[in-house]
Chains A and B, each alone.
Chain A
Amino acid sequence: MIAIWYAVVSFMLIVYIVLDGRNFGAGMLQWFVAKTPEERRQVIAAIGPLWTWHEVWLLGFGGTLIAIFPRLMASAFAGYYLALFLILWCLILRGISLEVGGHINDRLWQAYWDFIFVFSNFLLAILFGAAAGNVARGVPVDGQGNFSMAFFTDFKVRGYVGLLDWYTVSIAILAVVMLAAHGATYLTLKTEGPVHDRCAKCGKYLWIAVVPLGLAVLVESRIVRPDLPGRALSNPFWWLGLVVTVVSTIALVSGLSGRRERRAFLASNFLIVGLLATGAAAIFPVMLNSTLAPENSLTAYAVASSPTTLLRASFWWPIGFALAVFYFVFISRRYAGKVSVRRDTQGFY
């Protein structure tokens, strides 16, 4: 039961990362792939009408996390206090910059909000990357299951670690490059004209850059968490994640080289899902590893709600998820097709 709920909660976070990751990526790239004001509006219009739908998955994840793993949520969120508020403020700035830019047709106004937009998306990719690194590496959890940490300490990965060290920074860099590649693949599918051509080109380079960075993180993870590989190999979900990763990598290569944009974008989504799933499966059942002493680590079994509470949640969650799939189908059909550079067909944005 707890293992299934662990998979469900991880899955909701992964869905959020994949859905909003395209916005982070496209947002970071906006300045580089869109040169004229019209082209920059085109990028915003490509993600505009759907960003709230993507962002509410974070709320769905947060609520499920409180219900299923309340003690983990409490320890982790209080421990990451300032880092989480940075993420929240960046999310606020990102949403605001998306919404208000198009309201006033003035170059300076739009250039200013485009800057906020690019900057906050970039910072969000870094912060989520570093957060993933912190989950993989662990945090200084004490005997009571609490921790609080500085932004950085001595950049080492044991003992009283900070939010940033060589390991989490390298995962943050991987996250930035990979989400940029994901965003470029999305914009290639979603746009036409010069933005499309630039995205198609830089998307390929970004995906190539992901390969060495990804391998480096793999080797580093082996050093930081020597206990993980043994656990990972015995977890069927890890193997499932690996299969998804391999298949989607093949599909991505074929999509990128054959200019099959839809296939490339789908593969890009599943590649990120597969990678994050292998990561989530590898650390199970430890949800928050302690860098001070292994016995302080918080496992899914120790932080979960009672079996009856989990059982109650099992009744409504599938219904909510089935509805979400239904909305997803509606949205995919409703917003299919390319966004043109012509302003008047972009709607409000």
Chain B
Amino acid sequence: MNSIFNDPGFWHRLQFGFTIVYHYLFPQLTMGLALFIVYWKWRALRTGDEKYNQAVRFWAKIFGLNFAVGVVTGIPMEFQFGTNWADFSKYAGGVIGQTLAMEGMFAFFLESAFVGALIWGEKRLGPRGHFAAAIAVALGSWLSGYFILVTNSFMQHPVGYRIETNGSLGIASMSAYLLNPWAVVQFAHNQLAAVVTGSFVVAAIGAFYALRGLHRVQARLYLRAGTFVGLIASLLVAFPTGDQQAKIVGNHQPITLAAMEGKFEGESMAGVALIGQPNVATQRLDNPIEVPGALSFLAYGHFGSFVHGLNDFPKDQWPDNLELLYYSFHIMITLGTLFIVLMGFATLENWRGRLESSRLLLWVLMLAFPYPYIANTLGWMTAELGRQPWLIYGLFHTRDGYSKVVSNGDAIFTLIGFTGLYFVIGLLFLGLTGREIGKGPKEPAVATIISEPEREAVLV
């Protein structure tokens, strides 16, 4: 009988997919927040205004919680290359291991060495030292993003490698590998998407305090910064970075582009479907509403450019879950468009001085924060589902990559274990973050001015 229970590849993919999606909920916020923290710390240095330091202290705590969960959920990611994807590691470890090791030594070491100083070291380090710690942490988190995206880009578009005598891959050119054009485009797109997540969360908490009438100065600060940065980042995620991302997919993975758009037949003047459902059985897009020529223009720069359809390629090279790929991509695009509209409107209202008095807008801003997480996840699903059936595009099939010695039962067992453990971590994370938000940014008088013995007296 042929069911998914007999297909170990399915369980290894599901486990990696689940653990990476869960893990990435946390770094996407820390990468985005790191910029806000650096900015506010810089403003505090320049202006001496205590409200910026207050904001840094509050957000550093939120950052710390996310960082800790990011670390503990991140370690299984690296280990699963060996445990679940042993044959892939045997084949490509000499290449992808380089950036995984660099991520550890250049990024994680930096970030983890200074994160404690950022969260607890303000008094001991002084303002300048604290600012330096904030920069170190931000640099570390963005560097780790780059190294991981180089690793992923090698799987999407392998460059700089050579095939060794034993058939495995080795590095031919480190600079070609590290400066993979795919990685550069994807890094820009992905990091801006992380900034979108960060700015939505900052704006949401600002909106929450504003609706509650609490911490008014801080609420205004978060709302203004969150909506303005959110608008800029949402625009840049779409154009030029999202546009470039689609072009690079069109150039190097034309099958993927056809699948993302549900194009079964190739055509010039190819349209972009605003609405429509891909029907794999009948090989067409049901109920489409299309903008004619838009896909040809977006992917190749001319309305008349020919866009390949899925039927131009052998069926065994099609991504193996067309529907999920199509919907992931389209919902991501829809959300991204809504982000621009929402943050554009909020920025306009702020400019007219009505942001904090418009309760409806505050409600929307407060409740909007989960959607960037969803859009980020869908973007990654588009990238990874689109890469199928390849593990390394054009070189190595996904079905050849998993560990053959690991039994199906073991893989299912660990997947269930992760599900349970991550559920508990999620509850704890939400509960504790909720508490920190409830406590809110501390008033400056208590936090800094009172000396140590006095503070003890206050606490007693």
- Stretch from A36-44, A46-54, A152-160, A243-251 that touches the partner: A46-54
Query: CB of A32 within 8 A of chain B?
Result: no
Query: CB of B301 within 8 A of chain A?
Result: no
Q: CB within 8 A of A327: which of B61, B78, B110, B171?
A: B110
- Stretch from A94-102, A218-226, A282-290 that touches the partner: A94-102
Query: CB of A65 within 8 A of chain B?
Result: yes
Query: CB of A229 within 8 A of chain B?
Result: no
Query: CB of B290 within 8 A of chain A?
Result: no
Contact A95–B72 (Cβ < 8 Å): yes
| Bound Cα distance from A248 to B456, whole angstroms | 42
Query: CB of B172 within 8 A of chain A?
Result: yes
Q: CB within 8 A of B98: which of A148, A312, A335?
A: A312
Contact B425–A96 (Cβ < 8 Å): yes
| Bound Cα distance from A65 to B172, whole angstroms | 19
Contact B94–A306 (Cβ < 8 Å): yes
Query: CB of B352 within 8 A of chain A?
Result: no
* Binary A-proximity of B60-79 (CB < 8 A = 1, otherwise 0): 01001101110111111011
Query: CB of B414 within 8 A of chain A?
Result: yes
Closest to A71 in B: B90
B406 / chain A contacts, CB cutoff of 8 Å? 78, 81, 148
CB-contacts of A63-97 with B (<8 A): 63-68, 70-71, 73-82, 84-85, 88-89, 91-93, 95-96
Contact A52–B68 (Cβ < 8 Å): yes
Q: CB within 8 A of B115: which of A52, A103, A148?
A: A52
Q: CB within 8 A of B417: which of A85, A91, A316?
A: A85
Q: CB within 8 A of A81: which of B98, B168, B171, B403?
A: B403
Contact A82–B68 (Cβ < 8 Å): no
Query: CB of B459 within 8 A of chain A?
Result: yes
Contact B404–A324 (Cβ < 8 Å): no
A20 to chain B, nearest CB (A): 12
Q: CB within 8 A of A66: which of B68, B82, B435?
A: B82
Query: CB of B405 within 8 A of chain A?
Result: yes
Scoring B76, B86, B105, B174 by chain A CB atoms within 10 A of each residue's CB, the highest score goes to: B105
B120 / chain A contacts, CB cutoff of 8 Å? 49, 347-348
Contact B112–A53 (Cβ < 8 Å): yes
Contact B75–A55 (Cβ < 8 Å): yes
A323 / chain B contacts, CB cutoff of 8 Å? 105-106, 109-110
Query: CB of B437 within 8 A of chain A?
Result: no
| Bound Cα distance from A327 to B417, whole angstroms | 35
Scoring B73, B106, B116 by chain A CB atoms within 10 A of each residue's CB, the highest score goes to: B116
Query: CB of B83 within 8 A of chain A?
Result: yes
A89 / chain B contacts, CB cutoff of 8 Å? 417, 421
Q: CB within 8 A of B405: which of A79, A93, A96?
A: A79
* Binary A-proximity of B186-211 (CB < 8 A = 1, otherwise 0): 00000000000000000000000000
Query: Do A58 and B435 contact each other (CB < 8 Å), given the known contacts A52-B115, A81-B406, A313-B98?
Result: no
Interface size on B, residues (CB 8 A): 78
CB-contacts of A94-130 with B (<8 A): 95-96, 99-100, 103-104
Scoring B74, B75, B83, B171 by chain A CB atoms within 10 A of each residue's CB, the highest score goes to: B83
Query: Do A309 and B86 contact each other (CB < 8 Å), given the known contacts A53-B116, A67-B100?
Result: no
Contact A309–B171 (Cβ < 8 Å): yes
Contact B105–A321 (Cβ < 8 Å): yes
CB-contacts of A166-180 with B (<8 A): none
| Bound Cα distance from A305 to B97, whole angstroms | 10
Query: CB of A216 within 8 A of chain B?
Result: no
Q: CB within 8 A of A85: which of B113, B404, B414, B432?
A: B414
Query: Do A53 and B75 contact each other (CB < 8 Å), given the known contacts A66-B89, A74-B93, A309-B170?
Result: no
CB-contacts of B241-300 with A (<8 A): none
Query: CB of B101 within 8 A of chain A?
Result: yes
| Bound Cα distance from A79 to B86, whole angstroms | 9
Contact A334–B405 (Cβ < 8 Å): no
Contact A104–B71 (Cβ < 8 Å): no
| Bound Cα distance from A80 to B410, whole angstroms | 11
B421 / chain A contacts, CB cutoff of 8 Å? 89, 92-93
Contact B106–A73 (Cβ < 8 Å): no
| Bound Cα distance from A84 to B76, whole angstroms | 9
Q: CB within 8 A of A70: which of B78, B90, B121?
A: B90
| Bound Cα distance from A106 to B210, whole angstroms | 30
Contact B97–A92 (Cβ < 8 Å): no
| Bound Cα distance from A347 to B82, whole angstroms | 38
Contact A74–B89 (Cβ < 8 Å): yes
Query: CB of A239 within 8 A of chain B?
Result: no
Contact A59–B67 (Cβ < 8 Å): no
Q: CB within 8 A of B75: which of A67, A91, A315, A324?
A: A91
Contact A345–B452 (Cβ < 8 Å): yes
Query: CB of B102 within 8 A of chain A?
Result: yes
Query: Do A324 and B68 contact each other (CB < 8 Å), given the known contacts A50-B116, A78-B82, A315-B174?
Result: no
| Bound Cα distance from A95 to B72, whole angstroms | 7
7 pairs of residues in contact across A and B, judged by CB atoms under 8 Å: A59-B74, A66-B81, A66-B100, A74-B93, A89-B417, A305-B97, A305-B168
Extra A-B contacts (10), CB below 8 Å, given A63-B78, A73-B81, A104-B435? A59-B78, A63-B100, A74-B89, A78-B82, A91-B72, A92-B75, A100-B432, A306-B94, A320-B102, A324-B109
The 8 closest A-B pairs by CB, nearest first: A70-B93, A77-B82, A67-B97, A320-B105, A66-B97, A63-B101, A60-B104, A63-B100
